[in-house]
Structure 1
Amino acid sequence: MFTGIIETTGVVKKLTQENTNLHITISSAITNELKIDQSVAHNGVCLTVVNINKDEYTVTAIEETLTKTNLNTLTVNDEVNLERAMKLGDRLDGHIVQGHVDQTAKCTNVENKDGSWFFTFEYDKSLGNLTIEKGSITIDGTSLTVVNSGENTFSVAIIPYTFEHTRFKHYKKDTIVNLEFDVVGKYVKKISQYSI
């Protein structure tokens, strides 16, 4: 379980393909605090630490993860958003995030608004996911509030701190991002399909 509050970013140091799996080696400021078998969200994808070597650690993404997320686009020196699993008893500063990406989206517009930024994204509506105005959305693991919710599009407003301390500073038109839709909204939608 995560909160969508990005702790830090890491840098991809090595990518190793093994059959259909991809081993991703990352250097980060939190590596010395990690343990093997620990869960860490990478651009919103929950992956297990399988190896630690000095300031670098390795996680493995399976084929399904690579198919459904933007991890298959990673290259060496790419920056990734990182968040360790929340501790029981901590404040939930973001929202309930599972680390299970629902689908990807494409950035369609970036607009500078006098020190803040508006990012607009478009996603495939055929997968049945939806956003609501002022609802929660997770983009590459970052908990955000939806503005301008449409049928298959939405925007988010980004403050300077978030812009500088996450991957948002790298986003431009056509950047592919991971989306995790609000878990409560997903349950409500599922239940409503069966209501009389």
Structure 2
Amino acid sequence: MFTGIIQDIGTIKRLQRKGDNTEFTVFSDKLAHDIKIGDSVAISGVCLTGSAVDPKANQFVVTAVSETMQRATLGDLTPGAHINLELALQPTDRLGGHFVQGHVDTIGRCSAVLQRAGSWEIRFDFPQEYGRYVVEKGSVAIDGVSLTIYDVKPTQFTASIIPHTWESTTLRLLKAGMRVNLEFDLLAKYIAKMTGLQTTDRITLDRLREYGY
């Protein structure tokens, strides 16, 4: 479990195919010394397991199976690529973002990056069948970053990025057309299942009241 608060921007040093799996060697001078073999690490929003660690070189290795490679944007990564990193949540940590599992739901696409006075506005497109999980002022993990969204449309939403988040994540590298990992709010997914929301339905206040929320 994660919170969507990025702890470091790592760098892909090497990719190696092993059967159907792909091993990523990651450089992080902030986090490599805290990772142990078997630990969960969010790689741009994808929960992977540390399989080797070299603290002296500030590097660690994670492995992704073929299904994970297909569902997320990991296949877009090449040596030198920058990635968002977050270690798993501990019971004593503050929950600064929202509950993030590291299980990517779908791949979205950045449609626009607009600079505002003191912030940035990024618009994202997503498949319509996930619209039931998207609500105004709700939370979405985008490449592992917990963001509050607004201006929600059937296949698009917008997020505003403050300077700290802009400088501390790979969101500053986004350009129109680039793909991103999307994980929708866990609570929204449970509510949708319990209330029987169909693919094109949306969670509304009236619908929640109907079910006693």
- The answer to whether the superposition gives a TM-score over 0.5 is yes
Report the RMSD for the aligned CA atoms in angstroms. Answer: 1.5
**Max Rg structure:** 2
> Can you give the 5+ residue segments of structure 2 that lack an aligned partner in the other structure?
198-209
Contact 2:133 2:192 survives alignment (8 Å) = no
Distance 1:118 1:41 in 2: 24
Alignment match, 2:167: 164
Aligned residue for 1:66, secondary structure, equals helix
Alignment match, 2:39: 38
Distance 1:150 1:110 in 2: 17
Distance 1:129 1:15 in 2: 36
Residues 48-127 of structure 1 aligned to structure 2 (within 5 Å):
48-53=49-54, 54-126=57-129
Distance 1:128 1:193 in 2: 14
2:144 pairs with 1:138: no
How far does the alpha carbon of each residue in 1:104-128 deviate from its partner, in whole angstroms, 9 at most, with x for none?
Answer: 1000011000120000000112356
TM-score (normalizing by structure 2): 0.89
Go from structure 1 to structure 2 and tell me whether the alpha carbon gap of 1:127 and 1:181 turns closer, same or farther (over 3 Å shift).
Answer: closer
Work out the percentage of aligned pairs sharing the same amino acid. 40
Alignment match, 1:19: 19
Task: Give the drift of 1:17.
Answer: 1.0
Contact 2:132 2:192 survives alignment (8 Å) = no
How far does the alpha carbon of each residue in 1:115-157 deviate from its partner, in whole angstroms, 9 at most, with x for none?
Answer: 2000000011235653100001000110010111111110100
Contact 1:130 1:151 survives alignment (8 Å) = no
**Mean alpha-carbon deviation: is it higher for 6-15 or for 53-62?**
53-62
> Can you give the 5+ residue segments of structure 1 that lack an aligned partner in the other structure?
none
Distance 1:128 1:136 in 2: 13
